[in-house]
Structure 1
Amino acid sequence: MAFVYVLNPSGAVFSGDKLELRIVARNGGKLHVTSTSATKLHRMLDGSAYQKVHLEAKQGSYIEYLPDQIIPQAQSSYDQETTIDIDRGSMLIASEIIAPGRLARGEIFAFTRLKLATRISVDGSTLFTERMLMEPTTIPINMRGALGTFLYSGTLLALVPGGNAKGVYDAASSLDMTGEDFRLGVGALPGAVGIIVRVLALSSSTMTRLIDDAWSRIRMQMIGAPAPSRRK
């Protein structure tokens, strides 16, 4: 399997940036894509930044897209649109982790806006659409019904249309669901094409551990191998 590390040479995302990432695997190709470090959203006093991510797995291929966390710094404004296009017989794992800001500087939900949209299509038909908008300076998100007392939120998608969706669900469900510093939930996607894993955590280390554990267990069901050790 090819391992690809995506590097942003500017070191951060700035106001006015328009980024596009397209990842395609076909004809049985296997690909792991990650980032070299966290995606840092710099302060944006005027304007915002945008990123479009397109993941396409076709013809019995397999993609893992597992970037490091998004860190929205104070006064940042960022929109991200992720489109997943997969056919039956292919497989895909994708994750997304959101940090509260630069905790060492006392930044906790000090960003202006974080808007994330995800759309999944199977064989050309839209199966799943999700939109999340965080504007903590307008509507607090560290409240009951939102993040509550937790600081980090994470999502992992595992898609196996035409494959062993039940085995993937059972593998993820074997994870601990609650702990002193986290909550975790597993849900089935429509059409028995895969699952979604949600995690809330108090620390970056706990979030990373849980997402990696879910990835490894699901990966074993998908391709018969646990998650490898990645050099960062």
Structure 2
Amino acid sequence: MTFQPPKMARVDPSADRIKGRKIEAYLQFSRTGKRTYLRGQHTPHPFHITRPFYLPGDPDGLATLYLQSSSGGLYGDDNLTLSIEAQSDTQTHVTTQASSVVHAARGGCTHQKGSIKVAEGGYIEYFPEPMILFPEAVQDSKLTVTLSERAKAVFSDSYIVHDPASSGTVFDRLNNCITISTSSKEQIAPQLIDSMATTGEIWRSMELCCISTIHLSGCDNPEAAREAMQQVADNVSATVPGFYVGVDALVDRSIVSLRMISADGATHTAAMRVLTAAARMALIGAPIAEHPK
């Protein structure tokens, strides 16, 4: 009798993929007197927020709000959208409590969309902690920032690669697009489109661990803001080994942009704290308070 091994069934990597969630969250900030407050919100699971804080050392009335997640990261075909509206003359700082993990996509793609609209004379900071790309993650991220007259915004966007099991594998794909536009009664005009499409293998070949951008938009004096950011960037690069920064300005569009790369997540995050504080100073001339996390 000849032994016949059983036929092995083909494994579908999507079979155990977690069903994606299509969730939309919304935050609206308004102002009464000198104080900015959260006027409206819709934050379904997995979104969660704190109440606004008013921290010593920040400009008077500036509201700080922490975004949190109750799900442990992004999974499978998650499709999450966050819309933020900052009404006239508001001052707002939005950040996240901690980094978010993008898990293995298992044949799918995780989508994350953000929309920030700043009305006339408003100011907003959006400084989320880095997204952490686990092995086989597939992430598609889009952020659109639209500014009305005299509005200002500074925001960051960061990714870190991590292999918790030391498996030797990296994330699969990352597509990222940032659009900055100005809004008037006549039209919405794109001023900058910053897009990136890359793979984990490219990052591995370049020995990259982290990449970040910071954009300052609505600069009253973009050349002076660029020079101020360049000085801080040079100081950080000189003191943090393996941390590289490029600074550029679109003077006619009142935008200053920075891109940072490094090979170490901890030092990268610490350097980003210095640069985001400098970005506020360059844009509105005010120091930034320590934000406990």
Shared fold (TM-score, shorter chain, > 0.5): yes
CA drift of 1:107 comes to 5.9
Amino acid at match of 1:231: P
Could you say which residue in structure 2 is the equivalent of 1:155? 213
- For structure 1, which segment, 208-217 or 114-123, has the greater mean C-alpha deviation from structure 2 after superposition? 208-217
CA deviations on 1:186-213 (whole Å, 9 max, x unpaired) are 0002524120011112212221222221
Partner SS state of residue 54, structure 1: strand
Structure 1: which 5+ runs fail to align?
none
CA radius of gyration, larger in: 2
CA deviations on 1:135-180 (whole Å, 9 max, x unpaired) are 224xx2344xxxx33321111011125x122232121011243443
CA drift of 1:134 comes to 1.7
CA drift of 1:54 comes to 0.3
Amino acid at match of 1:150: L
1:134 equivalent to 2:198? Answer yes
Match of 1:97 among 146, 158, 161: 158
Amino acid at match of 1:66: F
What is the percent sequence identity of the aligned residues? Answer: 22
Matched length: 224
Distance 2:162 2:282 in 1: 34
Q: Runs of 4+ in structure 1 displaced over 6 angstroms?
A: none
1:111 equivalent to 2:168? Answer no
Could you say which residue in structure 2 is the equivalent of 1:164? 221
Distance 1:17 1:201 in 2: 28
Distance 2:129 2:84 in 1: 17
Could you say which residue in structure 2 is the equivalent of 1:229? 290
1:50 equivalent to 2:111? Answer yes
Partner SS state of residue 173, structure 1: helix
TM normalised by structure 1 equals 0.89
CA drift of 1:45 comes to 1.1
CA deviations on 1:79-134 (whole Å, 9 max, x unpaired) are 111111012311111101110123x4326661111111111111210111122112
Distance 2:190 2:120 in 1: 18
Structure 2: which 5+ runs fail to align?
1-61
1:194 equivalent to 2:255? Answer yes
Amino acid at match of 2:73: A
Distance 2:112 2:217 in 1: 22
TM normalised by structure 2 equals 0.72
Distance 1:91 1:108 in 2: 42
How much is the aligned-residue C-alpha RMSD, in angstroms? 1.8
